Structure 1
Amino acid sequence: MKYQKGVLQSRQTTVAMFTRFADSIVILVSSIVVASYYANSSSAASYLSAFIAMLAFYFICEIKHFYVSWRTTPFRMEAWRLSVYWIISFMAASSADSLLPFEMFSSIQHQIAWFGVTWFVLLIYRRTLKLCLRLARVHGYNSRQIAIVGAGQLGKELAKRINKSPWMGFNIVGHYDTPDYVQSEYHLPISEIKGNLDELVQDAKDGKIDRVYIALPVSKQSYIAKLVNELADTTAAVMYLPDVFTFELLHARSDNLGGLPVISIYSSPMDGSNRITKRIFDLTVGMMILALIAIPMLFIGIAVKVTSPGPIFFKQNRYGIDGKAIKVWKFRSMTVMENGDKVTQAKKGDNRLTPIGGFLRRTSLDELPQFINVIQGSMSIVGPRPHAVAHNEEYRKLINGYMLRHLVKPGITGWAQINGWRGETDTLEKMEKRIEFDLDYIRNWSVFLDAKIVFLTIFKGFIDKNAY
């Protein structure tokens, strides 16, 4: 086999040592330069501030394992962690300044400038270092020989991402797989598989492989356990990729439980700051819209009352977030108030509609009172549309993953609705398509996606030929 140039092959430790030293030098030199500018001299006090910040930064980075290989990680993640650790270090130095009997900074401008200059230089030199290492790897230096165990969907996806990122310096030696490998449309052809697991172990023992990425499905745990045990007799680094294609991951993320690594399979995006952001968006947009529609809602309510006997509002039992029951407000559009174990969906020409019920439903005006639900907190502006409890109980038995749509609050409008899956779902295929878009929304949620859906609803979400 022809090997790529590897002058920096064993330099990862050197790079980590270099960054430890360079970080301290940057903090020290920045302190001297800024102090010279503001105080016309570098006093012992300014050296003390640099020393405190250097110590704090070093200990935080060591505790948080910051001095590791960032080869496969986007710079924005490294920059974010560096920024957080520098802010904490700066606060430590500033706190010491307030406790000492003398001033380490000549003025508040001096203090702010030191923070800003040091932070900027730390980011710039690390970005420059990363670019230089990436350039070297693209040209064959600091490379790693990679073996992928698994020729299925996960292994193919891993190879695709490595090939798209030459800056990582990974050269794929080949794919290896188990003796019972069966080719399918999602798998590599057998002719493209370099060998079986025994051949992989031998190649690793011969020093032809630096890293082994195990990308086998969970059904092959016995092979994985045996392979990991045999690779212990080699010097290859071994990485395990969770089988993300066996399950339909929903907002998956890594976590830990008492120090043990955990990967969530089904998880709501609405936790922590996301929940707060979503709520602020709902309240802000909801109150603005309520202010605009208050007068139209008054006239609609009068029209509902005078055109048919019965209440103005219809509060139907539906499932909210976590599958908890909520009452969804609507303008009454039918002569019946179905709210039990059996609810018949409205159809074209439905004789249960009130004189203005059809118009209200086609234009979505019957759903305007749901902004009250939004302010109350039981619904969101954007989310999967809430279904009647009877329909939930029916479809959860027929569609796999149906109840996952309740990991977020139901919405007045949603990703499915602006993509044409609104109104009557008279076939199972239509409901399956709606659920597909609902889960896609949860998987890719962001406040920007919410804003996009609200904007598109104005043009394509109110009136629909399928709404009766």
Structure 2
Amino acid sequence: MSDTLVSRWKPEKRAQNWKSFATELAALAAVATETAAIAAASVVSGLLYHLVAYGERGDVIGYFQVGTLAASIILISNLFRGEYRLSHFLSFKTHPRRLFQLWNATFACLLVLGFLIKASEDYSRGWLLLYYVTGFGTLLLVRYALVRLVRRAASAGIIATKRIFLIGTPQEVERFTAHFDTSALGIEIVGSSYLSDATLRETAPVRQEELSRDLATVSPHVRHLEPDAIFVLIPWSERDLIDRCVQVLVGLPCEVHIGPDHALQHYSNADLARHGPLASLQLVRAPLSRFDLLQKRVFDFFAAVFALAVAAPFMVVIAILIKLDSPGPVFFRQQRYGFNRKPFPILKFRTMTTLDDGPIVNQATRHDPRITRVGRWLRRLNLDELPQLLNVIRGEMSLVGPRPHAIAHDHEFEKVVDSYACRHNVKPGITGWAQVHGYRGETDTPDKVERRLEYDLFYIENWSLARDVLILFWTVFSATAYRNAF
């Protein structure tokens, strides 16, 4: 490896033009596909609903008009947000949350508009509910399919969202190419130039001289290759070198980027934030936005009230069985950490003969003699958690979130796993992502703690209301959610 420019030949102009055309065509195809899918979901759901409910097809034109209006709202919103840039279609991770918020806003606009023009009575509420579900499902499936297609096209070299040229030390260039799968990111590296190691090792005058000599060879090659962007791969601590590179490269007709510092690779959600003229690098985002918190709280409150009303008769029967089975109170209260490590008294049906709540709390084990006969069934069926609906209504817990542990156990686990405290960045839940994947029960080894934490952190980073609904469904109907219940 030398300190001279190492680059590929310049691609043929025809190939570059074809890739540019294919990229633009892919963006237009994404717009057309989503718009058509939203309108089609309206028509199909309307036909099916009226054929099943009334034995006739109903007002097909009306369904099409509603679907077209919904598609127009989403299209305009996405265009303003730059949603159809192909760089957004290289990962599906953030799409469900954004689509769910957009679909809810779109449906709210439809309902308000229908009320204002007095057209809401012309459409069946049953069909509107069906369209709400099928429309979101269709939108999600189409977006997932588009992401898969764009990723495959990028990997095959059919499209390229950005052609880049790398400038940096050999170590930094090697680290960049090893860490990032550029083909999957839709990035094509058209060339690279290695800066000599002297630019980092020597004194300031020598560094500047070496850097100027290296940069002098870059400009003609960049003009020849015509990349979309130049990535300067120099440690961020070398501010004077970065400034000098930018001074020289700003005269070239392409974007200039400071490449990601290797320390930044530990923060997958890092983003540039602006507060007026103040710019900052946001390494960690808040787990949930204020709008997310509002959605989650409204859903938790009304769903918990409904569930409590349905479960009340069963809870009375359970209370009677507990009193008949063993002496002691019906409910078990224990201090646990909630959001931001604020302690609160969690409520459970008593399932054991002991009521531990202090600096030492022994975890329940399989065939634990402290568990009562009724308690064993309550724990196996998750019914001992029903009183926590009151914790949810009071705002201390959520229906879905990381399961809270006894405070004594929290103190132990924090010593085992450094990022354990991140679980307290959201409200704890009656059930959670870890529980429906079978990670419940005794946590007697560091590996079990780490695995449960891994699922909890994934839930926090990828929260959506749709995921909450899915977890609640799995909690009741999935056999995995009852694994390790003892």
When normalised by structure 2's length, the TM-score is: 0.59
Give 3-state SS (helix, strand or coil) of 2:285's partner: coil
**Does residue 147 of structure 1 match 2:166?**
yes
CA-CA distance at 1:148 after TM superposition: 6.3
Q: Go from structure 1 to structure 2 and tell me whether the alpha carbon gap of 1:351 and 1:152 turns closer, same or farther (over 3 Å shift).
A: farther
- Other-structure match for 1:188: none
- Other-structure match for 1:338: 356
C-alpha distance in structure 1 between counterparts of 2:213 and 2:325, whole Å: 80
- Other-structure match for 1:453: 471
Structure 2 residue aligned with 1:2, among 1, 7, 10? 10
Structure 1 window deviating more from structure 2 (170-179 vs 277-286): it is: 170-179
Deviations 1:97-137 (A, max 9, x none): xxxxxxxxxx99xxxxxxxxxxxxxxxxxxxxxxxxx9xxx
Q: Go from structure 1 to structure 2 and tell me whether the alpha carbon gap of 1:250 and 1:72 turns closer, same or farther (over 3 Å shift).
A: closer
CA-CA distance at 1:238 after TM superposition: 1.6
Give 3-state SS (helix, strand or coil) of 1:328's partner: strand
- Other-structure match for 2:295: 277
Structure 2 residue aligned with 1:233, among 227, 236, 248? 248
C-alpha distance in structure 2 between counterparts of 1:248 and 1:318, whole Å: 30
- Other-structure match for 2:321: 303
Q: Give the helix-richer structure, 1 or 2.
A: 2
**Structure 2: any 5+ residue segments left out of the alignment?**
1-8, 21-79, 103-116, 119-152, 198-210
**Does residue 172 of structure 1 match 2:152?**
no
Structure 1 window deviating more from structure 2 (443-452 vs 265-274): it is: 265-274
Deviations 1:276-333 (A, max 9, x none): 1111221232222212211111111111122222211111111111111111110111
C-alpha distance in structure 1 between counterparts of 2:302 and 2:270, whole Å: 29
Deviations 1:403-434 (A, max 9, x none): 00111111111111111111111111011100
- The count of residues paired between Structure 1 and Structure 2 equals 340
CA-CA distance at 1:71 after TM superposition: 7.9
C-alpha distance in structure 1 between counterparts of 2:238 and 2:159, whole Å: 33
Structure 1 window deviating more from structure 2 (350-359 vs 271-280): it is: 350-359
CA-CA distance at 1:357 after TM superposition: 1.8
CA-CA distance at 1:239 after TM superposition: 0.9
**Does residue 430 of structure 1 match 2:430?**
no
C-alpha distance in structure 2 between counterparts of 1:233 and 1:353, whole Å: 73
Give 3-state SS (helix, strand or coil) of 1:280's partner: helix
Residue identity over aligned pairs, in percent, reads 35
CA-CA distance at 1:385 after TM superposition: 0.4
Does the CA contact (< 8 Å) of 2:439 and 2:451 recur in 1? yes
Q: Go from structure 1 to structure 2 and tell me whether the alpha carbon gap of 1:451 and 1:197 turns closer, same or farther (over 3 Å shift).
A: farther
Alignment of 1:361-400 (within 5 A): 361-400=379-418
Give 3-state SS (helix, strand or coil) of 2:438's partner: coil
Q: Please tell me the residue identity of whatever aligns with 1:172.
A: I
Q: Go from structure 1 to structure 2 and tell me whether the alpha carbon gap of 1:145 and 1:153 turns closer, same or farther (over 3 Å shift).
A: closer
C-alpha distance in structure 2 between counterparts of 1:225 and 1:433, whole Å: 44
- Other-structure match for 1:202: 217
Q: Go from structure 1 to structure 2 and tell me whether the alpha carbon gap of 1:158 and 1:349 turns closer, same or farther (over 3 Å shift).
A: closer
Q: Please tell me the residue identity of whatever aligns with 2:369.
A: N
C-alpha distance in structure 2 between counterparts of 1:377 and 1:364, whole Å: 21
Does the CA contact (< 8 Å) of 1:178 and 1:197 recur in 2? no
Structure number with larger C-alpha Rg? 1
- Other-structure match for 1:401: 419
Q: Go from structure 1 to structure 2 and tell me whether the alpha carbon gap of 1:74 and 1:417 turns closer, same or farther (over 3 Å shift).
A: closer
Alignment of 1:87-166 (within 5 A): 144-147=163-166, 149=168, 150-151=172-173, 155-156=177-178, 158=180, 160=182, 163-164=183-184
C-alpha distance in structure 2 between counterparts of 1:153 and 1:279, whole Å: 43
C-alpha distance in structure 1 between counterparts of 2:480 and 2:302, whole Å: 20
Structure 1 residue aligned with 2:339, among 321, 324, 328? 321
- Other-structure match for 2:35: none
C-alpha distance in structure 1 between counterparts of 2:407 and 2:417, whole Å: 15
C-alpha distance in structure 1 between counterparts of 2:356 and 2:427, whole Å: 23
Q: Go from structure 1 to structure 2 and tell me whether the alpha carbon gap of 1:247 and 1:165 turns closer, same or farther (over 3 Å shift).
A: closer
Does the CA contact (< 8 Å) of 2:164 and 2:191 recur in 1? no
Q: Go from structure 1 to structure 2 and tell me whether the alpha carbon gap of 1:412 and 1:345 turns closer, same or farther (over 3 Å shift).
A: same
Deviations 1:249-271 (A, max 9, x none): 47655433453233333333322
Q: Please tell me the residue identity of whatever aligns with 1:147.
A: L
C-alpha distance in structure 2 between counterparts of 1:462 and 1:71, whole Å: 38
Give 3-state SS (helix, strand or coil) of 1:326's partner: strand
Alignment of 1:210-249 (within 5 A): 210=227, 211-214=229-232, 220-223=235-238, 225-234=240-249, 235=252, 237-243=255-261, 246=264, 248-249=266-267
Give 3-state SS (helix, strand or coil) of 2:13's partner: coil
C-alpha distance in structure 2 between counterparts of 1:302 and 1:341, whole Å: 31
Q: Go from structure 1 to structure 2 and tell me whether the alpha carbon gap of 1:435 and 1:202 turns closer, same or farther (over 3 Å shift).
A: same
- Other-structure match for 1:260: 278
Deviations 1:228-248 (A, max 9, x none): 423422325321344487565
C-alpha distance in structure 2 between counterparts of 1:140 and 1:336, whole Å: 65
Q: Go from structure 1 to structure 2 and tell me whether the alpha carbon gap of 1:139 and 1:252 turns closer, same or farther (over 3 Å shift).
A: closer
- Other-structure match for 1:419: 437
Does the CA contact (< 8 Å) of 1:382 and 1:411 recur in 2? yes
Does the CA contact (< 8 Å) of 1:248 and 1:265 recur in 2? no
C-alpha distance in structure 2 between counterparts of 1:373 and 1:141, whole Å: 51
- Other-structure match for 1:111: none
Does the CA contact (< 8 Å) of 1:146 and 1:209 recur in 2? no
Q: Please tell me the residue identity of whatever aligns with 2:10.
A: K
**Structure 1: any 5+ residue segments left out of the alignment?**
12-64, 84-106, 109-133, 181-195
